[in-house]
A and B are shown apart, each in its own frame.
Chain A
Amino acid sequence: AQSVTQLGSHVSVSEGALVLLRCNYSSSVPPYLFWYVQYPNQGLQLLLKYTTGATLVKGINGFEAEFKKSETSFHLTKPSAHMSDAAEYFCAVSGSNDYKLSFGAGTTVTVRA
């Protein structure tokens, strides 16, 4: 079984500041890890994923995440926030041959001008 915990339901950052969203997972099998973004009244859009290989994963819109097995973490970062980054972000985990996703509760990001 897999589960995800996202630390912080709301994050507020200034435009140009670092964005850091925390995700810890629990998995009985090697995990596949994902970050999705959801803009108001839209579906989920994949930002990035980790399956195997390089533990630092780069995604769209300047986001990246690092898989740390020893810490069971997959935190999402972006060096410089833009107003357009305001949205809800979901971390998710699946197994390597069972692809149903288990999502965290989400983190809402607001960006201050």
Chain B
Amino acid sequence: GAGVSQTPSNKVTEKGKYVELRCDPISGHTALYWYRQSLGQGPEFLIYFQGTGAADDSGLPNDRFFAVRPEGSVSTLKIQRTERGDSAVYLCASSSLSSPDTQYFGPGTRLTVL
């Protein structure tokens, strides 16, 4: 079956602009995670959804970052007033109820803030 998909694959924006990054999890997966991977580093946790609700948003760096999952499937990560330091690869992962410890990752969205 289809894996986790993320769109766009690349996004270039200017400092101060608003961006939205989309994640389509594996069909039927109830849990969805967002991570951020800066150059030369491992991914860092941002936020976790179980169904429609954000169960843990402790990794969001500040209030410019927000994510939603209104129907319990697709999720959108929203970044307001982007800064150059937001440049990174944003990864999405999903997992199932039957195997909650195993996350399947999408290919990521590479965000570049000029």
Please list the residues of chain A having a beta carbon within 8 angstroms of any beta carbon in chain B.
4, 32, 36, 41-46, 49, 51, 90, 92, 94, 98-106
Contacts and interface: CB of A to CB of B under 8 A. Distances in A.
B67 interface: no
Given A43-B108, A99-B31, A90 B43 contact: yes
Interface of B: 3-4, 31, 33, 35, 40-45, 48, 56, 59, 91, 93, 95, 100-108
Of A49, A98, A100, A102, the most chain B CB neighbours within 10 A belong to A100
A30 B59 CA distance: 21
Contacts of B104: 46
A36 B40 CA distance: 15
Nearest to A102: B45
Nearest to A100: B45
A106 B42 contact: yes
Nearest to A97: B100
B101 A49 contact: yes
Contacts of A102: 45
